Amino acid sequence: MQKKIIVYTLCISIILIIPLVILLSHFGLSNKVTCNNSASAERVQEVKKEAVETTVEAAEETDQQTTQPVEASPSETQPYTAAAHNEQTRTVNDGQRENSTDSDTPKIIEVQSSTEYLPILYYHAINDNITTSFKELFVSPSEFEQQMEFLKNNEYTVITFDKLAEYKKYKKPIIITFDDGYEDNYTYAYPILKKFGFNATIFLCTDFIDKPLYLKKSQIEEMLDIINFQSHSISHPFFTQINNEQLELELSESKRLLEELTGSAVDVLAYPTGDYDSRVIKAAKKYYKYAVLNGGGLYRGTDNNYEINRVYIPRGISMTEFKRRINHK
């Protein structure tokens, strides 16, 4: 009887314990799952936060790269500078020259321009008949016409030195100059300039007038409608290598002869061979308002009136290079 009671009690205990164990196990598992789910949720939030922060940082970096100005190449930021060429020996050190040609007809391509800067173009001969060993001095008439057409299409205003003090009043001001007074300036340049309604300045050596390959008096007189003639000395010497008396004569007599020939004021000097020093400047100030160099780049109104830069235009440069040289960027 006692054995039956014990067995019965054990059975009852087992029956009661098993559900309790099952219940407790289920409760423990739920807690574990809940904890795990909670941890996972927290991790997901952390990942999301990290992703958002990474995205924001990337966006900020992208925005900085977008708004930060791109650094231009030296060829874009620095104005072109030609070495002063020696017209006696006909040498030019032009390390920045682009020799490629561009035969495309100039189109209306807007060039960034600022009236802070004034391009003063600097040519010599305009001819395909090259008469010296220095080919670069002879700009092809077709090249010259393309360059003038570009200026016309892009609405440049061609002025002369009598407007230099007020050049900032003009839209895209530019000055066109030629040195020495080659006869092809009359044969080729003059008709092209007239075609586009431009004027220009020719710096003459008075001893060269009426000589072979140089302008004749009759041609000079005919060109006065659009050409302003200024001084390039009498005989094209090296100014720093002559004495004071010779220097005074070269400066004063060339001015007098040209004013007599043209009937107009001659108050601008182009240094022969680009050769000058403080002594030459002091002498030039007695007779001229301005003096120009054989290169140097773009002119700014703050420049010394007796060291005025010009932009050298040799034969064979492409239209892309021509545009770069007249543009201050």
Residue-level pLDDT at 14: 54
pLDDT at residue 16 in the model = 55
- Cβ(92)–Cβ(306) below 8 Å: no
CA angle 159, 329, 268 (to 5 degrees): 30
How many C-beta atoms surround the C-beta of residue 178 within 10 A? 25
What's the confidence (pLDDT) of residue 59? 36
Domain 74-326 has CATH 3.40.50.720: no
pLDDT at res. 109: 37
Looking at residue 18, its pLDDT comes to: 53
Q: What is the pLDDT of residue 9?
A: 53
pLDDT of residue 65: 36
What residue type is assigned to position 134 of the chain? F
What confidence score (pLDDT) does residue 64 get?
37
pLDDT digits (tens, 9 = 90+) for 149-186: 999 999 999 999 999 999 999 999 999 999 999 999 99
Give the model's pLDDT for residue 62: 35
Contact 110, 329 (CB under 8 A): no
Convert the pLDDT of each residue in 95-122 to its tens digit: 333 333 343 444 433 444 456 899 999 9
3-state secondary structure of 158: strand
Residue ranges of domains in the chain: 1-68, 74-326
CA angle 203, 88, 267 (to 5 degrees): 20
- Among candidates 273, 118, 127, which has minimal Cα distance to 190? 127
- Cα separation values, 4 from 8, 16, 50, Å: 6, 18, 68
Considering only CA atoms, give the Rg of the chain. Answer: 41
Which parts of the chain have pLDDT scores under 50?
3-4, 6-7, 11, 21-113
DSSP label of 101: -
Contact 270, 232 (CB under 8 A): yes
The pLDDT score that the predictor gives to residue 289 is: 98
Task: Transcribe 8-37 into DSSP letters.
Answer: HHHHHHHHHHHHHHHHHHHHHHHHHHHHHH
pLDDT, residue 132, reads 87
